[in-house]
Structure 1
Amino acid sequence: MGDLQIKKQPKQYDAVIVGSGAGGGMAAYVLANAGLKVCLLEAGADYDPAKHSSQLKNPWESPRRGASTKFRPFGDFDGCFWGWEIDGEPYTMAEGSDKWDWWRARMIGGRTNHWGRISLRFGPKDFKRRSIDGLGDDWPISYEDVKPYYDKIDKLLGVFGSVEGLENDPDGIFLPPPKPRLHELMIKKAATGIGVPVIPSRLSILTKQINKERGECFYCAQCGRSCKAAADFSSSSALVQPAVRTGNVDVITQAMAREVITNKEGIATGISYVDKTDMMEYQVSGRVVILAASACETARLLLNSKSQRHPNGLANSSNVVGKYLHDSTGAALGGVLPELFGRKRYNEDGVGGMHVYTPWWLDNKKLDFPRGYHIEYWGGMGQPAYGFGFGMQGMNGKYAVNGVKKEAGGYGASLKEDVRYFYGAGVGMAGRGEAVPRIDNYCEIDPKVVDKYGIPVLRFHTTHSDYEIKQAKHMKETFKEIMHEMGAIITWGGDDDASNNYGLANPGNIIHEAGTARMGNDKKTSALNKWSQAHDCKTLFCVDGSQFTSQADKNITWTILALSMRASEYIIDEMKKQNL
């Protein structure tokens, strides 16, 4: 497009931020509260959980009884707009690649409106994995560099948990954890009986009120719908709205970022975006540009931002932008507990997530895979909804009531009897593990495909290594031991074997992708320095998962938040020194 067709925003901002999820929301919050003028660009719609959440609706209030759609893959009441597929926004796979499952949110707050809110700190070892096992690379920072920011976000956003003193699972500043529910007590007894630790989980849900703006959890177990009382953390309610209330933030929704604008010296000066409502291109300018669009979208933006000074894409003189793409590993298994068939009914909803979990407990030096995993558990008496299967198919359709065998299923009174009998007896578990970042797992620009806005799309090259497959095998073996110890009947996931990588999820499927613009001390092998700042362009910062040198066996959101706060405070300091 020529300059005459581009509408340029006359206002000059201190910072232009792309993306309003964990990284972008935190950057907007910190900068706005320091008095900087911020423009926050979001590719999706406005979203305020207090107004738009489907919390407390019943299944019959959905025309699909809560079933999923392309717009809401996790169900009709889920807090996130879009997901694996978005109309008019394709992505492609390279020949020979495993399928990459790319989840994309399009709304204020992004994925933080529906995530599991598992809020784990990385530990000291997680920043120095190469020094331990010789694989991948160490981060240019240590746990001690990030700890002050973990402490700050614990206080600012709230996280419950328990002090355990574990070496590589650092304790936080915790709110009281909720008590384990019945199925969790049974899991704990069985797992600890075979040497697998089970401790209170660590979720960013307010079991006590921490400020006037946010409420306290009332245990409806619907955090995935996003909380109207803001008792769970989402960027929209806990960061973006408070930032806007300072008067220092302009939010532009339905803004599909096309490229980072640079001047003749190659310095980032703003963002060019397509307004989805009129399909016109606009430009907005700032002293710094902060990308927080998610690991893959940020890589796409950088690779599409070519210029005379940056012919290989912005911040890509190292040729690592898009490289070292990796996701948490994931494998799961589930079943039923006959001991709970026909159980008494009572309210045990709890928080919208697990009350207990298992941190990594073994020494990888004694195993045939190099990185660990944690275990997440579920089960019990959640609100019945569409797709509630009761595990009947896993027992060949037969069970006994008062010693009398009968067939499961049917309709009418027979079906109701089955539902009542199996309700609350389900149990399951999933591993979430660390993959080893590899340069041959990457995304690049597809030279032949554009989206409906005319922006070139990503093409993925990803495969699992033997490390991840062996890790998934260990997960399944552990789950089966716990289920056996509980006396559970496995109804799905138990037959996985080498033919399907032991049920290992497609890369990307766990929605923890990271590593496409990783930080490091050497500008020849990394895109960013230790402050999340581009080596090649001092006015460009990346504060989402793209900056990760490696993941841990932990969910990454809490570390995204901490690193975004750290980078934002660095930006403020550098502006005061007139270095930016």
Structure 2
Amino acid sequence: MQIKESSEVYDVIIVGSGAGGGMATKQLADAGFNVAVVEAGPFFDPADPETMTQLKWAYESPRRGKATKFRNFGAYDMAYGGFSVEGEPYTVEKGTEFRWFRSRMLGGRTNHWGRISLRFGPMDFKHKDVDGLGENWPISYDDVKPYYDKVDKLIGVFGTNEGLPNDPDGFFLPPPKPRLHELFYINGAKKSGVPVIPGRLSMLTKKINNDRGVCFYCGQCSRSCSVYADFSAGSCLIFPAQKSGGKVKLFVNCMVREVTTDSEGKATGVSYISKDDRKEYKLRGKVVVLAASACSSARILLNSKSKQHPNGLGNSSDVVGKYLHDSTGASRAGFVPDLMNRKVSYNEDGVGGMHVYSPWWGDNSKLDFPRGYHIEVGGGMGNPNYGFAMNPNDFNQFFGLKVGGYGDSLRDDVKKYYGSVVGMAGRGESIARKENYCEIDPTTVDEFGIPVLKFNYKHSEYEIKQAKHMQDTFEEIIHNMGGQPIGDKPGAERDYGLHPPGDIIHEVGTTRMGDDPRTSVTNKFNQLHDVDNVFIVDAGPFTSQADKNCTWTILALSWRASDYIIEQLKQQNI
């Protein structure tokens, strides 16, 4: 097959346009380099009236916003893709489990994520020193702190400085006030000795520049923001890089097959399949930056085989794809009678996410599991759509209340019970283990002829015991609120409600960072040990996850790696 090769040689080719790719695009373009961004999905701008869904009512959707196979979180959740992407299968080893979420659009997952923007703490980078499990990062919090500070100031995040040792303070915008259901949660949590502090979300509660608006509390951030008040990589990083004169060329609907190399094994660019004409093309570049997501970048490396790299690019250690791990997750909801028959006399406005949360408070040395989790809080009286938080069957089955029906009786019950349910979700740290991994499936390709990933992943007893602790905590807090848990408490036979691996969409570790090329894939600057002009700036290089969401650390490490790339290019070292 004839492959069309570009005549232009870019300074940097970036694969993926989410958090890591967006940050690298802005920093490298602002530094004057000629950048090509290759994205597997279409162009997307949340301010475009043709695609903007932020201010539409649920009844304007043919399914009232209901989820579909290819819009897993509903029609108004701005993620093109999901756990199933048509024509792009993946396989799972029998007896194991993994759910792989992919977002195929400019900006990637940053268009729909919860914007929970937490720094890793000092202990998170050196946790092996605490409990002997996993490995320490080759860098410390002090190495990353200057970049966390920069990310806070560039993007904006609300919160408060609390002086917590492993939940570092930052540069925060004013947080929104707690809503009524959150006040109930605060009281219930404090009775159990669980701390509650203002949430830390990357949504602008105050003007920070002329390119972005301020949150006006429509509460629909998962739709992506038409005034750019929340953080999405396209609106906050890529578009400003283009606007400021940066040399940025976008290649959308382009599925990268591999990183191409020369006779010395050095990267020369990438090859991709255009989804528009199904032809293969090659881009040439001095540096290749992979930011396609932890598993997608591993897939590209494993498919980039050559005489010089017979085991896949950067894989002389045989570690690419290994140490895959996702955040743990379990949840519970409760009915709080005191929240019935609500008059909207207390402020119900707010962002599309939690105004308060509970950082990890436990002492693992006194518990039967290592590592911790934080608690996210949901509830209130936001704009309902299909499946909103008032299921008549729950009220009828678990509380003996006759709820529902048709016409006036249904309307009356909605007014009576809507807003009376409070939910809690735990998000915690799992241990990185070599036996959890993804690899190339030798028998399956996608619709573009590219070999797909096969997953092999099992939770350990550590994660299951952590989920039990979550459930015990949730139930206690619900009772403290004067509420009644909805449904039976998940037991051992259900792994205490622990979500399947991948379900939390925080997968990390497939191209782990380390000082030893025999046991890691990248060095402390996200640079491949084996090929010095290839970098990875998604969550693949994470040596370990924390009990925090990973996006803020992806952004900080991508900025740090970009500074290193700029320095190396100027010195002509790569």
TM-score w.r.t. length of structure 1: 0.97
- What amino acid is aligned across from residue 519 of structure 2 in structure 1? T
2:22 maps to: 25
For the pair 1:242 / 2:240, whether they are aligned, the reply is yes
Cα distance in 1 for residues equivalent to 2:220 and 2:150: 27
Deviations 1:334-372 (A, max 9, x none): 122100111113561300100000000111111110110
- What amino acid is aligned across from residue 95 of structure 1 in structure 2? K
Give the conservation status (yes or no) of the 8 Å contact 2:337–2:483: yes
1:402 maps to: none
State the SS of the aligned residue for 2:142: helix
- Counterpart pick for 2:409 among 405, 414, 438: 414
CA shift, 1:495, in A, is 2.1
State the SS of the aligned residue for 1:44: coil
Deviations 1:395-442 (A, max 9, x none): 33587xxxxx96212111111111111111111000000000000000
Deviations 1:452-508 (A, max 9, x none): 00000000000000000000000000001100100112114x420000100000000
State the SS of the aligned residue for 2:319: coil
1:481 maps to: 476
Cα distance in 2 for residues equivalent to 1:554 and 1:214: 26
- What amino acid is aligned across from residue 192 of structure 1 in structure 2? K
CA shift, 1:389, in A, is 4.5
Cα distance in 1 for residues equivalent to 2:77 and 2:426: 22
Cα distance in 2 for residues equivalent to 1:361 and 1:398: 31
- Counterpart pick for 1:129 among 127, 152, 168: 127
- How do 1:110-189 and structure 2 match up within 5 A? 110-189=108-187
- What amino acid is aligned across from residue 504 of structure 1 in structure 2? L
CA shift, 1:557, in A, is 0.1
2:31 maps to: 34
1:554 maps to: 548
Cα distance in 2 for residues equivalent to 1:325 and 1:407: 47
% identity of equivalent residues: 62
Number of aligned residues = 570
Structure 1 unaligned spans of 5+: 400-404
Cα distance in 1 for residues equivalent to 2:228 and 2:240: 12
Cα distance in 2 for residues equivalent to 1:56 and 1:366: 48
Structure 2 unaligned spans of 5+: none
Deviations 1:179-213 (A, max 9, x none): 00111011101111110000001000000010000
For the pair 1:283 / 2:282, whether they are aligned, the reply is yes
- How do 1:489-508 and structure 2 match up within 5 A? 489-492=484-487, 494-508=488-502
- How do 1:48-447 and structure 2 match up within 5 A? 48-51=45-48, 52-97=51-96, 99-245=97-243, 246-345=245-344, 348-397=348-397, 407-447=402-442
- What amino acid is aligned across from residue 168 of structure 2 in structure 1? P
CA shift, 1:576, in A, is 1.2
State the SS of the aligned residue for 1:207: coil
State the SS of the aligned residue for 1:50: coil
For the pair 1:525 / 2:523, whether they are aligned, the reply is no
Deviations 1:504-539 (A, max 9, x none): 000000000000000000000000000000000000
Give the conservation status (yes or no) of the 8 Å contact 1:392–1:398: no
- What amino acid is aligned across from residue 274 of structure 1 in structure 2? I
- What amino acid is aligned across from residue 200 of structure 1 in structure 2? P
1:8 maps to: 5
Deviations 1:56-114 (A, max 9, x none): 100111111111122321111111111110110000011221x2110000000000000
Deviations 1:1-36 (A, max 9, x none): 4xxx10001111000000000000000000000000
Give the conservation status (yes or no) of the 8 Å contact 1:397–1:408: no
2:446 maps to: 451
Give the conservation status (yes or no) of the 8 Å contact 2:389–2:421: no
Cα distance in 1 for residues equivalent to 2:388 and 2:511: 41
CA shift, 1:391, in A, is 4.3
Backbone CA RMSD of aligned residues: 1.1
- Counterpart pick for 1:43 among 24, 35, 40: 40
State the SS of the aligned residue for 1:529: coil
2:539 maps to: 545
Cα distance in 1 for residues equivalent to 2:324 and 2:389: 35
Cα distance in 2 for residues equivalent to 1:194 and 1:409: 34
TM-score w.r.t. length of structure 2: 0.98
Deviations 1:36-73 (A, max 9, x none): 00000000000001112310100111111111122321
CA shift, 1:392, in A, is 3.3
Give the conservation status (yes or no) of the 8 Å contact 2:137–2:513: yes
Cα distance in 2 for residues equivalent to 1:406 and 1:158: 45
